[in-house]
Amino acid sequence: MKLKIMSLCKRIRKREDVYRIIKIYAAKGESIAPEAKCYLQCLVRDFEDNGLNLTAIKREEVERLTNEIDELSLRYIRNLNEDSSCLFFTEDELSGLPLEFLQSLEKTQNKEFKLTLESRNVAAILELCKIAKTRKTVAMAYGKRCGDTNIPVLQRLVHSRHRLARVLGYAHFADYALDRRMSKTSMRVIRFLEDISSSLTDLAIREFSILKDLKRKEEGEIPFGVEDLLYYIKRVEELQFDLDFGDIRQYFPVSLVLSGIFKICQDLFGIKIEEVTEVDVWYHDVRAFAIFDSGSGKLLGYFYLDMFTREGKCNHSCVMALQNNALFSNGACQIPVALLIAQFAKDGSGEAVPLGFSEVVNLFHEFGHVVQHICNRASFARFSGLRVDPDFREIPSQLLENWCYESFTLKLISGYRQDITKPLVDEVCKTLKRWRYSFSALKSLQEILYCLFDQIIYSDDDADLLQLIRSLHPKVMIGLPVVEGTNPASCFPRAVIGSEATCYSRLWSEVYAADIFASKFGDGHPNLYAGLQFRDKVLAPGGGKEPMELLTNFLGREPSTQAFIDSRTNYSL
């Protein structure tokens, strides 16, 4: 049914007669509410994105280019999915990899291990393998995937997207992709990325010096390559931080973490969460909850928790909008409903396995989306729930993640598995916060590198995909050259489908969430006054107002990158 409705909407947005009527009504300039006016503008732009404001010839060109872009995108992804590249290593060449990893690999008659170039295998090698030659071999092979086939495909795809943008009235594809987002223009994104990069360069140089010194001690004068970063970051963290994440897992029973998240959000946003038992669910361990305003007692919405992995269930964690808030013409309100899907494990007896720390952080993040969905009070379903500017959508969840590293929260959500009255000790709580920011400059620069690559190819008609990364890599990565013979142009799906010209968006959200947290919640405790202000001024309006206007109204100034920079430099090694 949902697919049929989506298909119908797409067909309607190509109807010239409907477009003309809406355009005429919009031109009248009748006095309507700001949100309704915004909705009307969005409708007009939906039609114009399909070329309805263009001549018949240009409209045909839009359709042809759209089909061409779809075909090229699928071809690029298909080439990667069908790539069967593999490498063979002896056990000695895989020194440092855990036994369970080796047992998961196919073994040849010559007793060599067959390593397919799946991202999880490559990540394990680059992080754990003690042999520098193996790390480099794997990094080179992974970065060369589909080089001969996908670079020409991406070149054509970029040109087709630029042509589409020009037909629709934009200088290049990046400005077309960003026009309705917080960032607005490619120039602003590039300036944002370069400003953060330059601010973190000195810290990155100090971090890099620590890694080079350790490599020199362990491997002699072998040059340090970018393929060594993950391995030596992990090695230094093992030496610098006394953290046993296997032991820490024993302090995070699912029920305790969940009740802690509920309390944090209730104390922070002025809401009350109650379980609903008299409701039909699709699996026996799915739970349903209602959220009320704690002051008035008004029902705000419902959410379901589908927490544990099982056969046939989708294999990723996310929040899905089952029903958006909306106001009907008779004044009645449609109640929002959300579904949080997680992939937590149960043991052989059916008991929930305690959460790893990364799972705790992920649960906070996803529950941030639940709160965002339920607290969005936009009158139009189009602007409610999670249907907000993509540059803004992750900010509430990134904000909530910050509490995972505060001692107050960690003690609230932790309790030893065999005695839940014993939370994490103070020293572990403090160490987790320091660990969060270890080598954060180098990690940020790596992300900025690929965000810049993505932004440049979609804002420059003449970008040379083969040369760009060779010049960009050492410039951003404090002199480190790209791995010999590799090029992300051949194996960078984010720049092809889903995040083309918008790879920066995750970092954008993290930066502004850091500003909000430092400015309004810096002591690490739930601040009800600030939380209610955030709920009313930022979450409630939803997509009916410009996100930058919402954040500026909440902060009392325009958002800044400084808190993000300070958080990294204040906890540097």
Residues annotated as part of the active site: 366
8 Å CB contact between 360 and 474: no
The three-state secondary structure class of 272 is: strand
Radius of gyration of the chain (CA): 25
Nearest to 453 by CA among 407, 481, 499, 495: 495
Nearest to 365 by CA among 397, 402, 409, 413: 397
Token readout for 205 is 């140089």
| Cα 382 from chain centre | 22
Nearest to 174 by CA among 151, 198, 190: 190
Q: Provide the 8-state DSSP code for 226.
A: G
8 Å CB contact between 569 and 205: no
Token readout for 321 is 């909008």
Using a 10 angstrom Cβ sphere, with 0-12 exposed, 13-18 middle and 19 or more buried, the burial of residue 29 is exposed
Nearest to 392 by CA among 549, 177, 267, 520: 549
Beta partners for 275? 289
Please report the sign of the dihedral spanned by the C-alpha atoms of residue 178, residue 183, residue 184, residue 185: negative
Q: At CA 306, angle to CA 305 and CA 311, rounded to 5?
A: 175
Q: Please report, to the nearest 10 degrees, the dihedral formed by the alpha carbons of residues 225, 227, 229, 233 taken in order.
A: -130
Distances (CA, A) of 227 to 106, 125, 231, 253: 24, 10, 8, 36
Residue 557: partners with Cβ closer than 8 Å, 6 or more residues away: none
**Tokens 């001024």 found at:** 537
What is the Cα–Cα distance from 375 to 538, expressed in whole angstroms?
Answer: 10
Distances (CA, A) of 518 to 343, 513, 526: 31, 9, 13
Nearest to 531 by CA among 396, 407, 408, 421: 396
Residue 455: partners with Cβ closer than 8 Å, 6 or more residues away: 174, 186, 189, 190, 193, 501, 503, 504
Nearest to 77 by CA among 146, 160, 177, 162: 146
What is the Cα–Cα distance from 190 to 476, expressed in whole angstroms?
Answer: 13
Q: How many CB atoms lie within 10 A of CB 315?
A: 7
What separation, in Å, do the N-terminal and C-terminal C-alpha atoms of the chain show?
54
Q: Please report, to the nearest 10 degrees, the dihedral formed by the alpha carbons of residues 257, 262, 267, 271 taken in order.
A: 170
